Amino acid sequence: MGRFHRRRGDSLYMFFVETDDVGALAKRLEGRGSKFAPRPLDKAGMPELFIHPSAFLGVLIGVSRTEQAWMWSGDPERARRAASTRASE
């Protein structure tokens, strides 16, 4: 992040988005030859990945399965609610 700031100054460095199917996004990225770093699969599939800045206008993008990000962000109750909502659909 320090290197990014020295080069570009104050600007957006990274952001996170959620999707119900991280694996589908990974397949699309592979198809385009884009650089990304997937996390190991768990019993529900691919939990998250990071899209390299070279693939998206210089911004690092984290992509989490809908309930996954809340587990590490400090609000696991939201993860449980998201998982139960998906299960009932």
Whether 82 has a pLDDT exceeding 60, the answer reads no
Total of domains in the chain = 1
Output the domain CATH number for residue 30: 3.30.720.110
* pLDDT of res. 89: 57
Residue at 7: amino acid letter: R
Q: What is the pTM of this model?
A: 0.70
Q: Which two tokens stand for residue 63?
A: 């992509």
Query: Which of 57, 44, 45, 47 lies closest to 14, judged by CA?
Result: 57
Whether 73 has a pLDDT exceeding 70, the answer reads no
Q: Domain of residue 35: give its range.
A: 2-88
Mean residue pLDDT of the chain comes to 81
* pLDDT of res. 22: 94
